[in-house]
Amino acid sequence: MKKILVSFFTLLLLLSSHNATAAPKSILAKEMVAINLAAPVTADTKMLVSGSSIILLNESNVRAIGPDGVEKWSLALTQGVSSIATALATDNSGNIWIAGSSANAPIVIPDSTTTADPINPDNVVVDPRVPIRSDLTIATIWKISNVGAPISVFTSEPLSALLVNSISINTKGITLGGIRATDNGYSGVIINCDLAGRFSKPIFLGTNDTSIDVVIRGTDSNVYAIGTSTETLLGKKVAGYRDGIIAKYSNTGKLAALVRSSASKAKREWISATNSLFLAGSVQTGKRFESALTKFATNLSPTWTYRFASTGATYSALGPSGSHFAAFASTSTIKGVSNWKPSKPTALLLIFDNKGVLVDAKSAVGTPLALGYSKDLGIVLMSSSQTAVSIFRLT
């Protein structure tokens, strides 16, 4: 009898696993509509979707546009000082938090130009990839209101050259993640800060080839640092040419667990993640390139996963009712998407329900650069083509 019960539960698990990776019905990929932008957007622009606005960041300048593409407000974060702002997030009050690094000089908060209605939060984090500049040694956080008015600036003690890739915020504090220069290369860095601007001692991961691309402050009071590495970390050696990594830190800063995502003779990386621990990245084996999508539990065990032939970066976003979005440049057919057979890499947005079942698909021109969602605007995708950088949404 016990053997029969074990076999029955094993069958249930297999059926559950199968259902989580299959579309329940044939899906048609519908085209997203490009927003008519009043001012151009570049491939270096970082994007955050918040309430009824799309926040766009270029180095030290931030602006908000509406769904009609018209600018709502614009703000220069610094004047007379060398700074680069490289990551964005929102809090529960709709304030916008921007993180970056600055040279060792006083920071001046400029006057602002604001004409906007209040913006609701959505906590989408966009992580950039730019070279480290040797003079940018100070972690910097700018807090501005949901109508673009400057509120405060927090700065840390100088480190070695620093690049902030991600910012995460909740009611208990702020966490920055990125890389800092070392004598032998670069290491991952995590910097925690309370909401009053008091910084904790930085936490370093690796010594010569580790990058933290995304940080998440969990509801369980842990911090999750996500990125890539070729180093031995927490006694775990690299298994491929480069592994994706997920490090879990306690609220006291102790490294509690570390998981490597690897494939033999392959380069793996995670470059995007949501607060629900839905990760997006890539797997490159020789000339073969795939987008990897995995939903993790808080104990860092995978709950469901997909891989799709693609090229370029992959981005994730959290939707309503526990749904998840992923965007990448697709290069092949997708099981369950009946009208999808791209002749060249084409932006594809996939939508999964809270159990990981593929339920919808959207297409756009170009290669994805950023992805976000808000209740007011729905899904917003930024992509780059040979002719322009465009922002798409559903109508």
Write down the mean pLDDT value for the chain: 88
Burial class from Cβ neighbours inside 10 Å (0-12, 13-18, 19+) for residue 239 reads middle
Q: Beta partners for 384?
A: 367, 389
191: left (phi over 0), alpha (psi -120 to 50) or beta: beta
Cα-flanking dihedrals φ and ψ of residue 391, to 5°?
-120, 130
Query: Is residue 337 classed as helix, strand or coil in its secondary structure?
Result: strand
In 3D space, the residue among 379, 232, 213 whose CA is nearest the CA of residue 281 turns out to be 213
| pLDDT in the model for residue 105 | 63
Label residue 303 exposed, middle or buried (CB < 10 Å: 0-12, 13-18, 19+).
middle
Structure-model confidence comparison of residues 150 and 7, the more confident one: 150
* pLDDT at residue number 17: 38
Q: Does residue 124 register a pLDDT over 70?
A: no
Query: Distance between CA 61 and CA 41 in Å, rounded?
Result: 12
DSSP H or E stretch at residue 58: strand 53-58
Interval 154-159 mean pLDDT = 93
Q: Which residue range is the domain that position 195 belongs to?
A: 25-393
Whether the per-residue pLDDT at 40 is higher than 60: the answer is yes
In the predicted structure, residue 143 carries a pLDDT above the cut 80: yes
Percentage helix, strand, coil, to 5, in the chain?
5, 50, 40
Structure tokens at 56: 């766009």
pLDDT, tens digit, 9 for 90 and up, residues 368-391: 999 999 999 999 999 999 889 999
Lowest mean pLDDT among 116-125, 211-220, 258-267, 358-367: 116-125
Q: What is the pLDDT of residues 49-65, one digit of tens each?
A: 999 999 999 988 999 99
pLDDT surpasses 50 at 9: no
15: pLDDT strictly greater than 50: no
Both tokens assigned to 55: 């926040």
124 is a domain residue: yes
| Residue 193 within any structural domain of the chain | yes
Distance CA 209, CA 191 (A): 18
pLDDT for the residue 112 = 44
Nearest residue to 237 via CA among 215, 257, 260, 253: 260
What is the rounded distance in angstroms from the CA atom of residue 376 to the CA atom of residue 126?
19
Residue 8 lies in a domain: no
3-state secondary structure of 24: coil
Q: What is the pLDDT of residue 26?
A: 86
3 state DSSP class of 5: helix
**Pair of tokens at residue 36:** 């008519």
CATH number of the domain at 112, please.
2.120.10.30
Distance CA 278, CA 4 (A): 35
Domain membership of residue 363 (yes or no) is yes
* pLDDT per residue as tens digits for the range 170-213: 999 999 999 999 999 999 999 999 999 999 999 999 999 999 99
What's the rounded Cα separation, in Å, for the pair 205 and 66? 39
Residue 188 lies in a domain: yes
260 is written with which tokens?
Answer: 């490597």
**pLDDT attached to residue 81:** 67
- Per the structure, the count of domains in the chain is 1
* Better pLDDT: 109 or 165: 165
pLDDT at 134: 87
Sign of the torsion formed by the C-alpha atoms of 353, 273, 97 and 368: negative
Residue at 343 is within a domain: yes
> Does 6 have pLDDT greater than 70?
no
Q: What is the DSSP string of 137-181?
A: -EEEEEEE-TTS-EEEEEEPPP-SSEEEEEEEEETTEEEEEEEEE
Strand (E) or helix (H) holding 18: helix 2-19
Q: Is the pLDDT of residue 10 over 90?
A: no
In the block, residue with structure tokens 């209040």 = 118
Residue 13 located in a structural domain: no
Helix (H) or strand (E) holding 98: strand 96-102
Residue 264 resides in a domain: yes
- pTM value > 0.85: yes
pLDDT, tens only, 323-335? 999 999 999 999 9
